Amino acid sequence: MKKSILIGVSIATVMAILLAAVALGFGDTSTKFNAFANAEVDKPVTEKPVQEAQADTGISEIAIKGAIQQAQSNVSFRILEPMYIPSSYKFDSVRGTKFVGVMNDIDMASFSYKNGDEQLTIKEIIVVKTRDNRTQSSSVPKDTREIIDINGIEGRYSEEEGVKLLGWKIGNLSLSVTSWKNEGQNRTSSSLSKEEMIKIAGSVREKTPEEAIAEAQTKVSFKILQPSYIPAGYRMNTAQTSGTKFRGFSLEAEQAVLPYIKGDEFFAKNEYLNLKELLTIKDDTDVSESVSKTPYKFVDINGVQGRFLEEQSGVKSLDWKAGNLSLAISSYAYNESGFTGTPLSMEEMVKMARSVK
């Protein structure tokens, strides 16, 4: 029996394949990552959203996402991607770094863009651990920087020694946009205006579910189905929502992934719930399975037979068909030894599956 290689194999196997692909494509596994240090474009482009502007550099969106995922693996918070970058600036690098200091341990993600001699950086920093500092002065100098509104949050803007800096916070995440021009050993003021920096800062946020699904929808030809029921405590991980087309020798398919997450900012405490929708256009692969030997539990999903499987690791999956779409829901978490299960029950997964329309 033929079976899709994208839906139906164990979640652990799929994730292992993906991690291997990242490893092959991005061999530098150090905390600093710069896969596209010298990427260039042949001619200027008109102002576009960041995804389109990046595509014009010849860097594929998949490669950029892979670089971000590599950086993501080095920090404990979810990295926020800027959704707007001025068209004159080209993507240069993204890094994820851990710092152990005398007073604080911090995790930092940074995006770098270049426009000739001009530099644009976006930094996101979270304090992971603070040590007692009994000698620290209790008096803090008055902040005289200009107050700026960023999506309803108070930010601070300054220009000093040629460097333009805009800083703000989202929860316990500190963010900044910095711009300058390199002239020899000196830094001078860049051409980037304060208004453009505010626009960049305003775009560094989580996409709404509507924005994320609309973006994924442009990448696939089928209508993305959405669940009307989500188990309590889960929210959509809009940064990882995606639509993808696969064109290989033996397989042509389109897939949409709607990921959900439960927990706080630290990945080690999170639980994951993924909904995958696959449209197979061509499948000449020969992956056989023995349904009779697989310990599936068969359930009804709106009149269609669904198959629920809980692996020895505790990872749970539920797959079924809706017209010409193959759908699968998976539930898992991580620990020191790899993938593990979550408390989410089969009944909750089935309820979610039945609400997908």
**What pLDDT, on the 0 to 100 scale, is given for residue 142?**
79
The residue among 285, 346, 355, 290 whose CA lies nearest residue 327 is 355
Res 188: pLDDT? 93
Query: Where is average pLDDT lowest: 5-19, 265-279, 293-307?
Result: 5-19
Q: What is the pLDDT of residues 228-244, one digit of tens each?
A: 999 999 999 998 899 99
Mean pLDDT of 203-225: 95
Mean pLDDT of the 260-285 span: 85
* End-to-end Cα separation, the chain, in angstroms: 28
What are the pLDDT digits (tens) for 289-324?
A: 656 678 999 999 999 999 999 999 999 999 999 999
DSSP 133-173: -TTS-S------SEEEEETTEEEEEEEETTEEEEEEEETTE
Q: Which one-letter DSSP state was computed for residue 31?
A: S
Q: SS3 breakdown of the chain: % helix, strand, coil, rounded to 5? A: 20, 40, 40
Map out the domains of the chain as residue ranges. 31-131+146-203, 209-354
pLDDT at 335 over 80: no
Binned at pLDDT 50, 70 and 90, residue 95 comes out as very high
Contact between 108 and 128 under an 8 Å Cβ cutoff? The reply is no
Q: Which of 40, 36, 49, 43 is nearest to 87 (CA)?
A: 49
Quickly list H helices, 5-115: 11-25, 50-55, 61-72
- Rounded (10°) CA dihedral 196, 199, 200, 205: 170
Q: With a threshold of 0.85, does the pTM exceed it?
A: no
